[in-house]
């Protein structure tokens, strides 16, 4: 299949747009002027069940939803659109709304590595043994965009891309040599696998020379959004050769595959792609967020994990959605998330117990929502720190926060795990 990408303007020229119910077309027109939108022909033709729109999970995974904006902003934008104003007049208002929606990503003092007092561009160090790398070409785009993505401002903002990525493949080398405690390097983006194999190799090669780096991780949703990347794309064989080469250099290669719904795993092309990757010796570990209206039942997750196991992959993380949308429309309440995880585990093969969840992501503190307990007739959520920034020394600690059936928020996890207070005075108990 030849890759064809549709933006918010080119999608409007397709038969799919014409077939959308009128209300959905209006929502698309308004929302895609503010938020990111990109879809490809494989997703349109193979993954979305158009008869089930607007409730189809893959449709919801791609298309922006009305709840992403406040009711006031949505209605105002809709009215402006209907009034027939030209784009030039609309743009200042769209920009104002857009700025309000910019996601705020937390950082700690240690999360941006420095050398000689200078920040190293495109490198993030969340935990003691791993760094994330953002080479410039990898941070630009993906094969399709997920509606819940919190990295969306990067997609069209060249300045933001340049400020948070690096161009020279050797840029991270000196830092990594000075920090032999860092054993894992994660290439991330947007999606690193939109790049051709040659450019990927240019960025990965200098890292392979560093003895103390033992694990190369590549984070990608390409198996879900474009499995042809590993089967019929021009450089598919070259990419798989690169996977073999990384391992021949003595590194473990971990493919962090992002899947949201079992449908992404059901067609023959993705199965073929998974087989080809596994034949290189690469381990595919799967992760994805729990998202309102897309995968928010225990069956969604048991089906997903069972399919991953059947295809030889390792279920790894069920994330609590990052909640960077200021209307919180993608995150579900924590109590419900926990119940979905626990119920889903009961329905899966024991082999799927490798998965940790629900786990808070992107708070620079990887925290497991581990259960609910009752002490003196009071209920608490049990939170366990799986990984924490080195300055916090929180790893392994357990904290309790008051149970609330409706809350979507556990508060500031970085501050929570810094605290040494007990339950007597603080509502927070450290065990
Ligand atoms: S594939 Fe990843 S980076 Fe790309 S839109 Fe989806 S969540 Fe965002």
Q: What is the pLDDT of residues 262-275, one digit of tens each?
A: 999 999 999 999 99
Average per-residue pLDDT for the chain = 92
pTM confidence score: 0.94
191 CA distance to ligand 1 middle (Å): 7
287-302 per-position pLDDT tens digit: 999 999 999 999 999 9
Q: Give the pLDDT confidence score for residue 429 in this predicted structure.
A: 41
Q: Is residue 20 over pLDDT 80?
A: yes
Q: Give the pLDDT confidence score for residue 86 in this predicted structure.
A: 81
Nearest to 319 by CA among 355, 371, 268, 353: 355
Contacts of 99 (CB under 8 A, 6+ apart): none
**Tokens 């929302």 identify what position?**
31
Q: Give the pLDDT confidence score for residue 189 in this predicted structure.
A: 83
How many angstroms separate the CA atoms of 284 and 307, rounded?
13
Question: Which residue's CA is the nearest one to ligand 1's atom 5?
Answer: 145
Q: Which residues line ligand 1 (CB under 6 A)?
A: 142, 145-146, 149, 151, 189-191, 221, 258
**Tokens 């997920």 identify what position?**
146
Q: Give the pLDDT confidence score for residue 377 in this predicted structure.
A: 96
190 CA distance to ligand 1 middle (Å): 6
Contacts of 308 (CB under 8 A, 6+ apart): 259, 265, 286, 314, 315, 352
Q: Are 171 and 122 in contact (CB under 8 A)?
A: yes
Q: Give the pLDDT confidence score for residue 318 in this predicted structure.
A: 98
Q: What are the structural domains, with CATH classification, of the chain?
A: 5-101 (no CATH), 114-356 (3.20.20.70)
418-430 per-position pLDDT tens digit: 866 433 333 334 3
Q: Give the pLDDT confidence score for residue 88 in this predicted structure.
A: 82
**Tokens 């080469």 identify what position?**
245
Taking the CA of residue 151 as reference, the ligand 1 atom at the shortest distance is 8
Question: Which residue's CA is the nearest one to ligand 1's atom 6?
Answer: 146
Nearest to 273 by CA among 319, 227, 337, 324: 227
For residue 7, name the pLDDT band (cuts at 50, 70, 90).
very high
């Amino acid at each position: 299949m030849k890759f064809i990408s549709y933006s918010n303007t080119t999608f409007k020229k397709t038969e799919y747009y014409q077939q959308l119910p009128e209300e959905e077309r209006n929502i698309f027109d308004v929302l895609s002027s503010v938020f990111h939108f990109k879809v490809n022909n494989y997703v349109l033709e193979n993954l979305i069940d158009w008869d089930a729109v607007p409730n189809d999970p893959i449709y919801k995974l791609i298309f922006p939803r009305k709840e992403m904006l406040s009711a006031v902003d949505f209605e105002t934008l809709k009215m402006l659109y209907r009034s027939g104003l030209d784009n030039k007049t609309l743009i200042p208002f769209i920009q104002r709304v857009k700025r309000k929606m910019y996601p705020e990503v937390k950082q700690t003092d240690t999360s941006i590595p420095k050398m000689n007092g200078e920040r190293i561009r495109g490198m993030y160090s969340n935990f003691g043994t791993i760094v994330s790398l953002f080479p410039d070409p990898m941070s630009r785009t993906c094969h399709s965009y997920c509606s819940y993505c919190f990295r969306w401002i990067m997609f069209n903002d060249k300045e933001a891309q340049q400020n948070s990525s690096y161009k020279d493949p050797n840029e991270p080398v000196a830092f990594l040599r000075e920090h032999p405690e860092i054993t894992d390097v994660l290439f991330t983006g947007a999606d690193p696998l939109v790049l051709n194999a040659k450019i990927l190799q240019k960025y990965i090669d200098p890292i392979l020379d560093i003895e103390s780096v033992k694990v190369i991780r590549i984070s990608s949703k390409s198996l879900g959004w474009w499995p042809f990347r590993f089967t019929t794309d021009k450089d598919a064989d070259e990419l798989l050769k690169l996977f073999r080469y990384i391992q021949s250099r003595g590194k473990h290669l971990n493919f962090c595959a992002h899947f949201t719904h079992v449908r992404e795993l059901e067609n023959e092309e993705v199965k073929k792609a998974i087989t080809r990757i596994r034949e290189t010796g690469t381990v595919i570990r799967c992760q994805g967020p729990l998202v309102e209206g897309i995968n928010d039942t225990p069956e969604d997750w048991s089906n997903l994990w069972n399919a991953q196991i059947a295809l030889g992959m390792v279920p790894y993380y069920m994330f609590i959605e990052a909640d960077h949308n200021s209307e919180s429309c993608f995150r579900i309440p924590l109590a419900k998330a926990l119940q979905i995880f626990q119920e889903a585990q009961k329905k899966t093969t024991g082999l799927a117990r490798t998965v940790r969840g629900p786990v808070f992501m992107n708070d620079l503190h990887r925290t497991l929502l581990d259960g609910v307990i009752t002490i003196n007739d009071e209920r608490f959520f049990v939170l366990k720190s799986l990984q924490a920034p080195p300055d916090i020394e929180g790893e392994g600690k357990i904290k309790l926060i008051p149970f609330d059936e409706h809350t979507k928020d556990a508060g500031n996890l970085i501050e929570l795990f810094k605290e040494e207070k007990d339950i007597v005075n603080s509502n927070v108990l450290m065990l």
